[in-house]
């Protein structure tokens, strides 16, 4: 490099030295007391996701992480459980994207593996009061299995938590047609109707006081 005195003749500037920006993944696995020994991101796992010979290994990783998520859910550590379900799903999604599965294999794969993890995430979101996210996850589950009563039921729970009672009732009635013997669905219908009646009575009382005062 030519210099003039102690300065280079041409401007030399470092534009990108590999600095990690705030919020970006640094690729370092955080300490984990759950027994999860797998890389957080499939790309860091050194597994070739295009090889069908690796299918069982990938499924085992996802299943191991899912079980850890289940244990966290039972311990009411819902945020951590949600992260494990998301991680387990990442491995499956990459396998589904990269591996040359037949249409039949893909459909079966979706209903057998992707569906349960999507529903598990929705359950966590309900406990974390993330109703909008729960509804979107239930919609994703229904794209995998349009007659899945659990997805419709959890969507109804999310609407109920948001006081969207009409939508909640619609979901619960739909779920009951899919699972007519499920007592839990019937209990939710009764619960929502009571909430609607209580809301209407409160509104009526407020209007009565308003006009009486006027």
pLDDT above 70 (res 122): yes
Q: What contacts 33, CB < 8 A, 6 or more positions away?
A: none
CA atoms of 207 and 196, how far apart (whole Å): 17
Given a cut of 90, whether residue 19 has pLDDT beyond it is no
- In the block, residue with structure tokens 């949600």: 82
Supply the pLDDT for residue 199: 75
**Which pLDDT band holds residue 112 (cuts at 50, 70, 90)?**
confident
Residue 7 has pLDDT above 90, yes or no: no
pLDDT mean over 14-40:
66
* Average pLDDT along the chain: 87
Mean pLDDT of 19-40: 68
61-105 pLDDT tens trace: 999 999 999 999 999 999 999 999 999 999 999 999 999 888 888
Give me 28's structure tokens: 């370092």
CA nearest 154: which of 109, 142, 112?
142
Residue 111 DSSP symbol: I
- Residue 16 pLDDT > 80: no
Share of the chain above pLDDT 70, in %: 80
pLDDT of residue 23: 42
**Residue 31: what pLDDT?**
55
CB of 161 closer than 8 Å to CB of 132? no
User: Which residue would you say has higher pLDDT here, 26 or 77?
Assistant: 77
Cα–Cα distance measured from residue 145 to residue 143, given in angstroms and rounded to the nearest whole number: 6
pLDDT at 109: 83
What is the pLDDT at residue 111?
Answer: 85
User: Which pLDDT score, from 0 to 100, does residue 10 have?
Assistant: 63
More confident residue, 30 or 99: 99
More confident residue, 208 or 135: 135
What integer is the mean pLDDT of 133-144? 97
pLDDT tens per residue, range 152-207: 999 999 999 999 999 999 999 999 999 999 999 999 999 999 988 887 777 666 66
Please give the sequence-ordered ranges of beta strands (E in DSSP) within 46-110, or none if there are none.
none
């Amino acid at each position: 490099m030519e210099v003039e005195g102690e300065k280079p003749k041409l401007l030399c500037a470092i534009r990108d030295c590999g600095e990690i920006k705030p919020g970006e993944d640094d690729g370092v696995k955080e300490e984990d007391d759950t027994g999860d020994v797998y890389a957080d991101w499939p790309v860091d796992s050194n597994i070739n996701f295009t090889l069908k010979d690796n299918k069982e290994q990938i499924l085992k990783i996802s299943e191991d992480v899912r079980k850890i998520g289940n244990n966290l859910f039972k311990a009411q550590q819902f945020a951590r459980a949600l992260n494990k379900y998301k991680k387990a799903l990442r491995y499956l999604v990459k396998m589904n994207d990269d591996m040359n599965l037949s249409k039949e294999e893909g459909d079966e794969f979706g209903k057998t593996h992707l569906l349960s993890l999507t529903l598990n995430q929705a359950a966590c979101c309900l406990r974390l009061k993330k109703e909008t996210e729960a509804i979107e996850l239930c919609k994703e589950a229904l794209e995998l299995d349009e007659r899945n009563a659990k997805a419709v039921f959890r969507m109804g729970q999310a609407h109920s938590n948001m006081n969207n009672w009409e939508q909640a009732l619609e979901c619960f009635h739909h779920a009951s047609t899919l699972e007519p013997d499920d007592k839990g669905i019937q209990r939710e219908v009764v619960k929502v109707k009571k909430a609607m009646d209580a809301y209407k009575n409160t509104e009526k009382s407020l209007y009565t006081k308003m006009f009486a005062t006027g």
